[in-house]
Amino acid sequence: MQISELIPFIVILPLLSSPICAIINSGKVSWSISLLAVFVTFILSILFILHISGVEAISYPIGGWKPPIGIEYRLDQLNGFFLFIISFLTLISIIYAKTLTNAEIEGEKHGMFYSVFLLCFAGFLGITITNDLFNIYVFTEISSLAAYTLISHGTSKRSLISSFEYLILGTIGATFILIGIGFLYLSTGSLNISDIAERIKSIENAITIKTSLAFITLGLILKIGVFPVYAWVIRAYTYAPSFITAFLSSVGGSIWVYLFIKLTFIMYGWSYVFDVLPLKIVLEILGVGGIIVGSFGVLYQQNMKSLFAYSGLLNISYIIIAIAIASESSTSAAMLHTFNHAIIKIGLFIAVGYFIISTGKYRLFEMAGISRVMPYTTLMFTICLMSLMGFPGTAGFLSKLFLLKAALQESEWVIVFFMLTGFLISIFYTWRIFHTFYIKQPFILTSSKNVKGKYYALTALFIAAVMNIVFGLNTDFSYSLASQAAAYILE
């Protein structure tokens, strides 16, 4: 059996498991089905990664209609890497989900909840694997609609209003992307990304192409949650169920970064976007703005989920800046940091969610002295925290080093200054959390209750913490994949 025949299954599998979960509608069975589907997807993504190195791309025409007429699923160095990230992180979050849904979601809704989660997952995989622009839009909407539903199930009633806000802005973002696709179709007459990349070369300077780039960039900036339009993402992550926060902040963030890289580098051509058009300076300004706002956020927030959502903004800003610099070292650093940041964030949000359900506290000052109540969980949390800070020997250190190196190579002194400021501030706020957890006098109300099925959450946290060390000490795997992808998109 050829590997290309397996390509569509990576989307079909979660998509088909979703209605099964909904029909069975039992928490335990639906969770097992989801776990199985995500696990098989993970195995598939590893298979893909093994087969893709050294090959240009593997293409699968849907329904036998050859591209550019038909829809094409295309596996290349770039999306092979991102498929691995997504399925790996989703595997961690689905293990974690067992504990959290028991604690946060009403019993009769579990089956439906997993069903919608699988839809969201299938949408993300679809965005990654497809090579057809309109398909990307449809998958974007599938995953986003599922995400709105998932967010609205938070324990606080504010989750409803943040989900509504997410719906409005997410739809505006997706519609902007759709308008951009329309302009591209208008001027090239094609929807296949590789085909458009060929056709666009002769008409690069047409006003429609520029307009389409403007709309698509605007839509993706909204979706990623870059500096001026980040508040809705922060609120959604703060009030969503903890499992969904862990899932969306790591997986969702990577997806939109991937889509932005794919469209700007492969479709429009990176030299056109970042050298001919002034997108580089625009993105750098947005990134610097994000670093400033994110730094204030992480220093002053008391709500733990909100705090790490701001730290997500900070890290996304580094990634956006690195993408805008568009050299080989900076793009590989951007992709490596996307991967490492996702692992860090999933670990942190898993730990925070676990703290919240076992103590009922969600503010930083309320968690004072928590290390005495839950020493092992706090230890694993601290490993992820050190990785976020960029402590040598953890995953976060290396990608931050590469980001800084890439900025230095291009002599972008302003960027270097702001990046260093951001890194310094990350030392301050991680220290603040560390100090509260370990040194401060215990808060009187801090006591933990025994959570039902807590070992699932702890396993997930353990995997995340170990991965932070593994990818920190041994970078061969992640760095070679990221640099392969960078070399591929800069061709």
Partner 1 sequence: MAFVLTHLNYFVAFLLMVIGLWAIISSSNLIKKLIGLSIFQVSVLLMYISIGKVEGGAIPLLTEKAVLYSNPVPHVLMLTAIVVGVSTLAVGLALVVSIKKTYGTIEEKEILEINEAEEIRSENFARKHE
CB 203 within 8 A of CB 123: no
CA dihedral 280, 247, 75, 396 (to 10 degrees): 60
The piece of 165-173, 221-229, 248-256, 471-479 that touches partner 1 (CB under 8 A) is 165-173
User: Can you tell me the distance from the alpha carbon of 133 to that of 277, in angstroms, rounded to the nearest whole number?
Assistant: 22
CB 296 within 8 A of CB 427: no
Contact between 51 and partner 1 by CB under 8 A: the answer reads no
With b for 16 or more beta-carbon neighbours within 10 A and e for fewer, the 357-377 pattern comes to bbbebbebebbbbbbebbeeb
DSSP annotation string for 84-99: HHHHHHHHHHHHHHHH
| Tokens at 140, concatenated | 């974007």
Contact between 445 and partner 1 by CB under 8 A: the answer reads yes
Contact between 175 and partner 1 by CB under 8 A: the answer reads yes
Least Å from the CB of residue 382 to partner 1: 23
The amino acid sitting at 424 is: L
User: Can you tell me the distance from the alpha carbon of 341 to that of 316, in angstroms, rounded to the nearest whole number?
Assistant: 9
Least Å from the CB of residue 163 to partner 1: 6
The piece of 31-39, 123-131, 216-224, 438-446 that touches partner 1 (CB under 8 A) is 438-446
| CB-nearer residue toward partner 1: 57 or 179 | 179
Least Å from the CB of residue 410 to partner 1: 37
Per CB under 8 A, the list member of 155, 171, 211, 327 interacting with partner 1 is: 171
CB 479 within 8 A of CB 336: yes
Contact between 168 and partner 1 by CB under 8 A: the answer reads yes
Per CB under 8 A, the list member of 45, 93, 163, 250 interacting with partner 1 is: 163
Q: How far is CA 120 from the centre of its chain?
A: 13
Query: Interface mask (CB under 8 A) for partner 1, residues 331-370, using x and -?
Result: ------------------------------x-x-xx----
Contact between 172 and partner 1 by CB under 8 A: the answer reads yes
Query: Interface mask (CB under 8 A) for partner 1, residues 195-214, using x and -?
Result: --------------------
CB 18 within 8 A of CB 115: yes
Per CB under 8 A, the list member of 167, 246, 261, 346 interacting with partner 1 is: 167
Least Å from the CB of residue 134 to partner 1: 5
Least Å from the CB of residue 202 to partner 1: 20
43 sits in which H/E element: helix 27-52
Per CB under 8 A, the list member of 30, 34, 93, 152 interacting with partner 1 is: 152
Least Å from the CB of residue 254 to partner 1: 23
Query: Interface mask (CB under 8 A) for partner 1, residues 72-111, using x and -?
Result: ----------------------------------------
Secondary structure (3-state) at 392:
coil
CB 101 within 8 A of CB 77: no
User: Can you tell me the distance from the alpha carbon of 162 to that of 481, in angstroms, rounded to the nearest whole number?
Assistant: 36
| CB-nearer residue toward partner 1: 148 or 260 | 148
CA dihedral 195, 201, 204, 209 (to 10 degrees): 0
Least Å from the CB of residue 175 to partner 1: 6
| CB-nearer residue toward partner 1: 168 or 420 | 168
Per CB under 8 A, the list member of 444, 450, 476, 491 interacting with partner 1 is: 444
CB 165 within 8 A of CB 229: no
The amino acid sitting at 161 is: I
Residue 441 DSSP symbol:
P
| CB-nearer residue toward partner 1: 153 or 400 | 153
The piece of 100-108, 142-150, 263-271, 316-324 that touches partner 1 (CB under 8 A) is 142-150
| CB-nearer residue toward partner 1: 168 or 466 | 168
Least Å from the CB of residue 329 to partner 1: 39
CB 389 within 8 A of CB 430: yes
Query: Interface mask (CB under 8 A) for partner 1, residues 386-425, using x and -?
Result: ----------------------------------------
Per CB under 8 A, the list member of 12, 186, 282, 473 interacting with partner 1 is: 186
Alpha helix (H) residue ranges in 131-224: 133-151, 158-188, 193-199, 207-224
The amino acid sitting at 319 is: I
User: Can you tell me the distance from the alpha carbon of 441 to that of 273, in angstroms, rounded to the nearest whole number?
Assistant: 54
User: Can you tell me the distance from the alpha carbon of 208 to that of 28, in angstroms, rounded to the nearest whole number?
Assistant: 52
User: Can you tell me the distance from the alpha carbon of 172 to that of 152, in angstroms, rounded to the nearest whole number?
Assistant: 19
User: Can you tell me the distance from the alpha carbon of 342 to that of 468, in angstroms, rounded to the nearest whole number?
Assistant: 10
Per CB under 8 A, the list member of 47, 53, 107, 158 interacting with partner 1 is: 158
Interface positions with partner 1 (CB under 8 A): 134, 137-138, 141, 145, 148-149, 152, 157-158, 160-161, 163-164, 167-168, 171-172, 175, 178-179, 182, 185-186, 191, 302, 361, 363, 365-366, 443-445
